[in-house]
Structure 1
């Protein structure tokens, strides 16, 4: 199989995970959810009682985290020190705390190092998350910014959480988090050479097809 690295960036609720998984399946590639890595180390820091306002302590917690993440698009599995946290990292308490890790430059550097190792170890991979197209894999064969309107992103995140969150909660988890994270990462506007796919008015299959078309256009 020819080597193929696809980087998919974009804001919260844009459909990065589901679309990237399906793209990986159709291209016979593995899949890396870098957002899950940030969530996992955030869960670890919280579980260890780390003061999230202490930047050095957060960075130390991230470096110490024994993190395992599946790259099989059909198997979602995240473990910290052998503990399965696959479902726990999606809980609102993690969503509301993850920016403390995501905006920590030392923590980001450690996770970027790990992400690059995973990408280098897999000949065909779809990697998604914030700053994938600009920092983690700027030399990817295809780089795509998957975006959507604020309304569409909040609606999707609400459905993902089973309607358990109020509009205010969703605003905080989607829009406010993006605002915080954008201070250290560029994922709201496509950088030079990065294709934009706006899924606001597209259904799932249409979005996947648009991403595949962007991959073909950039990798040929």
Structure 2
């Protein structure tokens, strides 16, 4: 549903420069580029395979791509030049012990009238997955090291100088699919989100994902998002001095 939320909540917003931080193997940067009219996307990732894959996918869709290969450290953000109209930072901050410094550094590169899209897993869903799988995220070098409830995420945004325009609990189909996924000890590449486990478990995981998504869409996705929230979806802008 993140793709639909991007289309809905970025509709009418125009961007020339777009930055996608930690994109993994997803299409969100390209979706946002098409919605906002941006002709190119700049990607930051620590995995060269991700950068190469995103560049090729952009080429297929008539977009140009710039790849910046580095780990997210405050000093490394100096490699960014100028300001961006739109910054995507999705499923990133839960991996960072220095999330506050990184978000502040990114906001420094956000244009005055720019927007930032942030998604993170909800604290409740993270604790649920740890309950059904005590080894969840324990031994992965790129695993989750932070948890965010609504108050904590709002505080992170506020202290970085951002004000939410949209703040939604969402992704209930991922709550269902991840319960199976991590409950049955499937494996995922945490730095990219790439699923490593195949076979019957992978088949059932895909079926649960697709069927639950159809059910929730047919019966009220926003209501299910409040009941079984896997992620928060946020669109924010810079706080102006007079706000």
TM range (shorter): 0.3 to 0.5
Between structure 1 and structure 2, the one with the greater Rg is 2
Q: Which has the higher helix share?
A: 1
Give the TM-score normalised by structure 2: 0.35
